[in-house]
Amino acid sequence: MKINKPPMGWNSWNTFAENIDEQLILDSADALIEKGLLDAGYNYVVIDDCWALRERGKDGKIVPDPKKFPNGMRSLADKLHAKGLKFGMYSCSGLMTCAQYPSSLDREWIDAQSFAEWGVDFLKYDYCYRPANRKGEESYRAMGLALANSGRDILFSACSWGADKTHEWIRTTGADMWRSTGDIFDNWNSIKSLIEQQFDRLPFGGKGCFNDMDMLVIGMHGKGHVGLGGCTETEYKTHFAAWCMLQSPLMIGCDLRSADDFTLSLLKNSVLIGIDQDEKCAQTYRLGGDEAPVLVRALENGDVAIGLFNLADGEKHAWLTLNDIGIGVNSGKTLELTDCWTGEKSIVKNGYVGSRLAPHSSIVYRGKIVDAK
């Protein structure tokens, strides 16, 4: 499968980890729909680790846990498809999954066939318990080839954490997206670290194999499996803004059944989603300092997305000039900016865009090129 936009959806791991079952998945799917998130573009429902029995069946196939999924995975897939959703599952490239369930090392072809028979649309493929003598690229190429020959169109999400120079070989595997970081946690230090890790990996994402910064923790508020501390509303806004500016897949990780109004308004921000999902898929580039980076991306219709970020614990001045992004002082052009949070419009004067930002805050603009007056 070759995808033209970063995938969007929901994944069970951040909040529920091993505490999953069929009813939870269906209830979460219903919440995704009822709260307007499917209409906003979130269409994958992904079961992460811990869905199987601890041992394979006599036929060598992975067996879904009958207590958690009494009707089997094909039935669950059919129910999700009937709701207009896509069904995602999880496996791993090592001897065991990260939670020590059966994994797909040297079983890629039989497992890919099972996933296809079950109606799976998305496979997250992890990197735990990999033998020292097995190169990561070999494992991911094996699963990529098996999925491509499974008889079903299955999105291949490679979750190798950016380890072992993933960026150098990931496109050889047929993966549609690749994890460029370790796991996210629901606190500011984790979010800041994942943003900073992208700065030397910007050339390696894009159309066909998107750079995955891990799942969103927006709306967790310190609860759930990775809810280690929680974030402020300002920090959640910066989290979402950075993922959209950097064109990461948007996979929600909170409990959708109890998502509050702030969480839903942030996750459904159509202007930011439009930037994340822009069809041009141009590479984001960085201006400014390490703790006050400015991120810029050219958009499909000639617009420009500009994100001003303060990653520091104190106030910072983040800024750029229009000349920095290709609009020279003698071009006769300037930008009409739309604030992605407020919708407020303004015209750039004197070729300068900038702001003094509170700690951990951000401003994102969508800029339209207009004649200078």
SS3 label, residue 45: strand
Asked if 225 and 20 touch (Cβ cutoff 8 Å), the reply is no
| Mean pLDDT, the chain, integer | 97
Closest CA to 99 of 51, 136, 58: 51
Decide if 209 contacts 177 (C-beta within 8 A): yes
Q: How many whole angstroms separate alpha carbon 296 and alpha carbon 188?
A: 22
Marked catalytic residue, from 48, 111, 121, 126: 126
Cβ neighbour number for residue 282 with a 10 Å cutoff: 17
Work out the average pLDDT over 91-99. 97
More confident site: 76 or 2 = 76
Task: Examine the residue annotation and report whether 183 is marked as an active-site residue of this protein.
Answer: yes
pLDDT digits (tens, 9 = 90+) for 58-93: 999 999 999 999 999 999 999 999 999 999 999 999
How does pLDDT run across 251-280, given as a tens digit for each residue? 999 999 999 999 999 999 999 999 999 999
What does the H/E/C string look like for 47-72?
Answer: CCCCCECCCCCCCCCCCECCCCCCCH
- What mean pLDDT comes out for the span 124-129? 98
280, 300 contact by CB (below 8 A): yes
Query: How high is the pLDDT of residue 252?
Result: 98
* Residue 285, pLDDT score: 97
Distance CA 364, CA 373 (A): 24
Could you confirm whether 339 is annotated as catalytic? Answer: no
Give the model confidence (pLDDT) of 335-354 as tens digits: 999 999 999 999 999 999 99
CB half-sphere exposure, 22, CA atoms < 13 A:
17
Transcribe 168-202 into DSSP letters. Answer: HHGGGTT-SEEE-SS---SSHHHHHHHHHHTTTTG
Catalytic residue among 21, 183, 324, 339: 183
pLDDT of residue 116: 98
Note the pLDDT of residue 290. 81
Sheet holding 210-212, edge to edge: 210-212, 177-179, 155-158, 122-126, 86-92, 44-46, 8-11, 250-252
- Across the strands, what pairs with 308? 294, 363
Q: What is the pLDDT of residues 198-245, one digit of tens each?
A: 999 999 988 889 999 999 999 999 999 999 999 999 999 999 999 999
CA 144 to chain centre: 20
> By three-state DSSP, how is residue 292 classified?
coil
Q: How confident is the model at residue 1 (pLDDT cuts 50, 70, 90)?
A: low
Distance (Å, whole) CA 155 – CA 14: 21
